[in-house]
Amino acid sequence: MRSSVIVFPGSNCDRDIGVALEKMQFKNQMVWHKETRLPKSDLIVIPGGFSYGDYLRSGAIAGKSLIIDEVIKAANSGCLILGVCNGFQILTETGLLKGTLLRNKNLKFINKDVQIKVLNNETKFTNKYKEEQILKINIAHNEGNFFTDPLHLEKLKNENLIAFKYCDEKGNINENSNPNGSLENIAGIFNDKKNILGMMPHPERMIDEIISNKDGVNLFSSLLS
Amino acid sequence: MKFSVTVTLKKDVLDPQGKVVQNTLINMGMKNLKNIRQGKHFEIEVDENELSSAEKKVDEMCKKLLVNLIIEDYKINKI
Query: Domains of chain B: which residue ranges?
Result: 2-78
Domain count, chain A: 1
Identify whether the C-beta of residue A68 lies closer than 8 Å to the C-beta of residue A94: yes
Is the pLDDT at A68 greater than 90? The verdict is: yes
In chain A, which residues have their Cβ closer than 8 Å to the Cβ of B60?
Answer: none
- CB–CB contact A64 B70 (8 Å): no
> Which pLDDT band holds residue A139 (cuts at 50, 70, 90)?
very high
Q: Which residues of A are catalytic?
A: 85, 202, 204
> Which pLDDT band holds residue A12 (cuts at 50, 70, 90)?
very high
Residues spanned by the domain of A102: 2-224
For residues A16-25, give the mean pLDDT. Answer: 97
In chain A, which residues have their Cβ closer than 8 Å to the Cβ of B66?
Answer: 56
Q: What is the DSSP string of A79-136?
A: -EEEEETHHHHHHHHHTSS-SEEEPPTTSS-EEEEEEEEES--SSTTTTTSPTT-EEE
B7 touching A, CB under 8 A? no
Q: Do strands A110-118 and A162-167 pair parallel, antiparallel, or not at all (unpaired)?
A: antiparallel
Give A96-128 pLDDT, tens digit per residue: 999 999 999 999 999 999 999 999 999 999 999
> Which pLDDT band holds residue A156 (cuts at 50, 70, 90)?
very high
Give CATH superfamily name and number for B2-78: Phosphoribosylformylglycinamidine synthase subunit PurS (3.30.1280.10)
Is the pLDDT at A149 greater than 90? The verdict is: yes
Give B11-70 pLDDT, tens digit per residue: 989 888 899 899 999 999 998 999 999 999 999 999 999 999 999 999 999 999 999 999
Q: In this predicted structure, what is the pLDDT of residue A75?
A: 98
CA distance A140 to A109: 7
Which ipTM value was assigned to this complex?
0.79
pTM over 0.90: yes
Domain harbouring A149, CATH code? 3.40.50.880
